[in-house]
Structure 1
């Protein structure tokens, strides 16, 4: 026996274009007021100029790859890619051993 009350989803209250616009307006007003008071919000960044300088200094070293640099600095690889826009150009290209042996 199938019980229909187990299958039904809870209903959401109906929203109209007017009410959703009103909520959006109130949210934007509150964010603007917070910005005017100097409150920006969001998660604080862990990256500072000293950390960026250290990452850029380590990149030309062929012994260090991006993963080890990120681990040494205590940040993720994605954080390095986000904050160092020229990261791919600064890293030294590495030829895999298999390709290097096959060329000769």
Structure 2
């Protein structure tokens, strides 16, 4: 049974020594160090650490936020570890999933996070339904009105203006002008 540490700092300029010292003091046999933002989906050192762990091992971090991008992501990692028979400890929070109390505390945090996510989704759906009931539609506002499209078409047909000049005139991008020119050709 090995105790594996994982330390993460967000940038190359940050120093992971405080984390690695705490992990060594906690008795970690091997420590994986990551220099990457927690928001990144790809974290090679974490992938290596998770791949290194075997049944009966424990993964140790100094704080929960060093491991996961979100509470939902933390729960996914903890569930994967539990399925593999690997323990998890967060030193600062006193979480140790190898004990019944530690598992309970961790799952309470995860349940609260999931509940919060579900409330956000529900409020979003309610807001969209209320907006639809008032006749509002989602999506971006059109920058080119039918009148502006006709004017842009006329400018283009004259041949005196480049597409970039037309786009600048209406304050839109060249692809927007091309899209409306193409729509006009398809309809004709």
Match of 1:13 among 71, 76, 86: 71
Deviation track 1:9-65 (CA, whole Å, cap 9, x = no partner) reads 72533456x644554233212210122123445554332122111111111233322
Q: Distance in 2 between matches of 1:88 and 1:74?
A: 20
TM-score (norm 1): 0.55
Higher RCO (Cα < 8 Å, 6 or more apart): 1
Root mean square deviation, CA, Å? 3.6
Where is the strand percentage greater, Structure 1 or Structure 2? Answer: 2
Secondary structure at the aligned position of 1:29 is classed as: helix
Which residue pairs with 1:3 in the alignment? 18
Consecutive unaligned residues of structure 1, counting only runs of 5 or more, are 91-104
Equivalent residues of 2:167, 2:174 under 8 A apart: yes
Higher Cα Rg, which structure: 2
Consecutive unaligned residues of structure 2, counting only runs of 5 or more, are 1-15, 21-34, 36-62, 73-109
Which residue pairs with 1:71 in the alignment? 168
| Aligned counterparts, 1:48-59, within 5 A | 48-59=145-156
TM-score (norm 2): 0.35
